[in-house]
Amino acid sequence: MAEDLKQVADMITANTIFCTKEVLTSDEAAKYMGISKSYLYKLTMKQQIPHFKPMGKMCYFNRLELEQWLQSNRITTEAEISQKAQSFCMKGGLK
């Protein structure tokens, strides 16, 4: 029972850190994003994700930049595409 309570307390602490901490380590960033550290490493090596290397080795990540990156390349829903098509046709389409 005490071990279960400790695990719950650790989870709450970890989740609170993600919500309040602005700069994340690689471990924290991978957990925050729900990806493996190896995949995060690949993204940094390909310079596909914003990160900082102030001392040349350790990578750090800005939590807000990670959120923006995660929300990039949004996929448009079928309803949104249909609405755009309808608006386009109502305006006269291509002239």
Angle, helix 37-45 to helix 26-33, in steps of 10 degrees: 110
Give the integer Cα–Cα distance in Å for 12 and 6.
Answer: 10
Q: Is the dihedral of CA 68, 70, 75, 80 positive or negative?
A: negative
51 is a domain residue: yes
Is residue 8, in this structure, part of any structural domain at all?
Answer: no
The pair of three-digit structure tokens given for residue 10, joined into one six-digit string: 């650790």
CATH number reported for the structural domain that contains residue 44 in this entry: 3.90.105
Domain count, the chain: 1
Q: What is the pLDDT of residue 33?
A: 92
Are the CB atoms for 67 and 50 separated by under 8 Å?
no
Q: How many C-beta atoms surround the C-beta of residue 63 within 10 A?
A: 18
**Could you read off the pLDDT of 32-86 as tens digits, one per residue?**
999 999 999 999 999 999 999 998 889 999 999 999 999 998 898 999 999 988 8
